[in-house]
Amino acid sequence: MQIVYEATETKTETKQPKKLNPNRTRDHLANERTYLSWMRTAIALMGFGVVILRLRAFHSPLVPRPGYGWKLGLLFSVVGLLTVLLSTQHYFLVRRDIEEDTYQPPDRWVILFSLTLTLLGAGIIYFVISSSMSPLELMVFE
């Protein structure tokens, strides 16, 4: 009696650990630099809003209306605060995507922030044009 052993190939699936991106550390550092850049932008926006609010103190007493400068200054401060909140959220989302190696750069934040700054810039131009600088307004009569 002869026993024949046939070699049967069986595929065993062994899960290999997912290979980490070798540039992972560099990506995290770039993400952190971007976050800090957004923080500087937010601080500048809020500071500019405060400057616009403080410019009301330089209006001459002959100007009967408070103007729209305070609204523009408040808007800059609010946009600065929103920039802080949105950039913090974006930082953590990108951090997770880097860890999972699924990061895709979003275009919506660039477009949203560009449109917002364009509108704020238009508001500044309107503010500068609408506030008259006639010499009579700057003189204080006693």
Domain positions in the chain are 24-103
Around Cβ 77, how many Cβ atoms within 10 Å? 19
Q: Helix, strand or coil for residue 17?
A: coil
DSSP-assigned letter for residue 23: T
- Of 17-31, 35-49, 56-70, the one with minimum mean pLDDT is 56-70
pLDDT at 87: 93
- Residue 73, CB-side half-sphere exposure with 13 Å CA sphere: 15
- Residue 106, phi-psi category: left (phi > 0), alpha (psi -120 to 50), beta (remainder): beta
pLDDT tens track for 43-65: 999 999 888 877 766 555 555 55
pLDDT tens track for 85-127: 999 999 999 999 998 888 888 888 889 889 998 998 898 888 7
Mean predicted lDDT score pLDDT of the chain:
79
User: For a pLDDT cut of 90, what percent of the chain falls above it?
Assistant: 35
pLDDT at 129: 78
Region 27-46 average pLDDT:
93
pLDDT at 83: 93
| H-run or E-run covering 122 | helix 108-130
DSSP-assigned letter for residue 3: -
